[in-house]
Structures are given as structure tokens and as C-alpha cells.
Amino acid sequence: MTDEFKIDPWSSTNILEEDYIKLIREFGIEEVSDLMRLKISNRFIRRKIIFGHRSLDDIVKAIEKNKPWAVMSGIKPSGPFHLGTLTTALEIVEFQKLGAKAYYCIADIESWEDNGIPYDETEEASVDNVADILALGLDPSPERAYIWRQSKEPIVKDVCFKVGRLLTQNMVNAIYGEKPFGLYLAALIQVGDIVLPQVMDGPQPTVVPVGIDQDPHLRLTRDLTRRYYKEKKVDGKIVQDAFFLPGATYHKLLAGLDGTDKMSKRNPNSYFTFNEPLESIEKKIKGALTGGRKNKKEQQELGGEPQKCMIYKILMYHFEEDDDKLAHDFEKCVKGELMCGEHKEECVEKVLKFIKEHRKKKEKLIDKSRELLNIE
């Protein structure tokens, strides 16, 4: 891995393509097999955006046997939806459509610990964020979903205190490095978030869709779940309880639109939100890094490099439904038959159409979002 690279849920940067292979080996992540891609009809898995997993086999078995299973993830309510949060949200929606009950957390405790935003000041962002995922297709009916704010959910706090007695300073230092102690507490709260589906609704396989930078939280949760919820002493012998170790899928992180390491609020040109003016979104897409050559002649002679192109990537992640069209565009780019300006215009058209339609749906769901979050 690169010298600057580190796995840090709060500040990971500079994850290169070759880093993903090394991460799989270093942290015991399993690769998604071709057979699993056939069994789970999910475009993020099909397009290899999801590159690794933990315990996804439990989900496959639950689907095959028509048993209950869960998808759990959430969002830190520090601002509006953007390209990065869209990835996880769409994965949750797709897993719910496959049969999972969706558990969606508003991580307002983490927002306080990491960003210093008081709970009451996160309320409007929380309403906005939940309306976004509802507009993306999440079914909020009680039998299909449960949505909560960390600061208002007793289960996650109770779990935090119960499993916290198993944690030492050396353990959290080994997983996260030296951090403000509040972030360690926020990580324990996330353990509560991840096991909530099983505590609330009984043992069931659970998948948590995340970017690879969130893997420390999964490793901590799996370790504490195994030790607190799975291993029990009976007559002096350790026996396994019914709880499942929480699983995960890991997707590749999108770099900044402008070619910087990641999307960051400190660099407005690296991303766009769903709430900003359409003119601003169009300008950022047109200014995005491509895999094109210096000029048209060189492009035609040498071909483009779509694997480096942010236009190709955001279409692949979110805005192009047709797999065959993606493959065709990739080939045209490599052969020098697809010009960057033409591709950007196509991307702008698809993104703006998506945003306009999304806003219309979302506007009708604000009241429902307030009701779900119990916010006046």
C-alpha cells in the first residue's frame, strides 16, 4: 500500500486500485466469487463496485431458504446527500428489494463527536437525508424498515455499555490509532447500531454495505459480537449462541470529480450535493477529470483511459442503468472513438434528469421523513 495510505473511518485517503487487493489479504476480507455474483442480483456486485465481503454467504443461505435477514447502514447528518452517500443508500435499497428488512441509522452521536454538531442542529439534515433515501425507493413500512437516531435509541446505548466492558485501550488503539476518546465511544455506539437488528428482532444474518474505510468498525463489531453475544459459558464450557456475526459488503470509494483523492467539503469541485443549483452540478461535471489525451488527434491514435475517468465512473456507479451501454462506451473510449466532450454532455444530461426527478419525489416525502424521525 502507499506510504500515505491508512484505513481510518474518519479520514482515509489515497486508496489506489492495487490497495484493494492488499486490504483483502491484510484484513481477511473475502473476494466476491463469480458464483455469488450469480446468486445475488445486485448491480454493485455485478459491476464489481462491491469487491469484497464478510459473511455474505449467510445472506445467500437466508435468501435460498426464505429466512429473515437484514441490511443495516446509515448516514452522518452533517449535510445533504452527495455522490458518496448515494452509493451506500442505493445498496440498502437494492438489498431491501431482494428481501431484507432495512435498518437505517441517523448517526447524530458520531456527527457530534466527529464534527461538533449538536443533536438539535442535525435535525433538519436528518429529515433531508431520510427524505432522500425514501425518494430512492426505500420502503419505510414497519415490517420492511426501521429508522432511528442514535441519540434517541436506547438499544444502541445499552449495547455500548454492555460490550464496552470487553474493550481495552490497547484494542481501540490497535484498530483506530490515537483518537479523541469521544470517537471511541461513537465507535461503540456503532456496534450497537450494527447488532440492533438482532437485538430488536431476533438472530438473523445482517449485511452492512460500507466503503472499505469503514472496515475497522466491522472488525470491532464482529469481535465484540462473538465475545458478548455468541460465546456463552455453560457448565464451564464455551458454547455458541444463536447470534450471527454481522457481515458486510465493501465498495470501492469514488475519488473526487476533479481527480483529488476523495470527495471533500474542503474542496467543493470534488463533489456535488443533491441540493445545489443545477448550473453548479453541470459545471462540476464538465470540469471533471477524464481519461482523455491531450488533444483529439492523440485521443484517436492512442485511445482513452476510461479506468481513470470520473465521468465513466459516476455513470457506472449511479447514472447508467444499461450494462451493455457501459461496456460499449468503455470499448469506444479505449479505441479512441469516444470523445470526452461528447461523453460529458451525455453524463450531464443523465445526471440532471436524475436530480430533477429525485427532487420531485423527495418534496412529497419530507412530511413522511419527519414522521419517521418524530421531528416536528
Does residue 216 share a domain with residue 357? no
Please tell me which of 23-32, 158-167, 223-232, 292-301 the model is most confident about, judged by mean pLDDT: 158-167
What angle, rounded to 10 degrees, do the helices at 340-363 and 123-135 form?
A: 110
> Domain check: are 96 and 161 in the same one?
yes
Do residues 215 and 318 share a domain?
A: no
Query: What's the CATH number where 289 sits?
Result: 1.10.240.10
Three-class DSSP category at 234: strand
Q: Tell me, what's the pLDDT at 231?
A: 67
Same-domain pairing of 46 and 74: yes
Q: What is the pLDDT of residues 11-31, one digit of tens each?
A: 655 566 667 777 777 788 998
Q: Are residues 198 and 298 in the same domain?
A: no
Q: Which residue has the higher pLDDT, 371 or 14?
A: 371
What CA–CA distance (Å, rounded) separates 93 from 183? 28
- The model's pLDDT over 134-152, given as tens digits with 9 standing for 90+, comes to 999 999 999 999 999 999 9
Instruction: Tell me: do 298 and 238 sit in the same domain.
Output: no
- The secondary structure of residue 116, as a DSSP letter, is -
Same structural domain for residues 206 and 71? yes
- Averaged pLDDT for residues 143-172: 95
Strand 206-211 to strand 145-149: parallel, antiparallel, or no bridges (unpaired)? unpaired
Q: 222: domain range?
A: 17-253
Give the chain's domain count: 2
In a shared domain, residues 137 and 170: yes
On whether the pTM is more than 0.95, the answer is no
Burial grade of 41 (CB within 10 A; 0-12, 13-18, 19 or more) = exposed
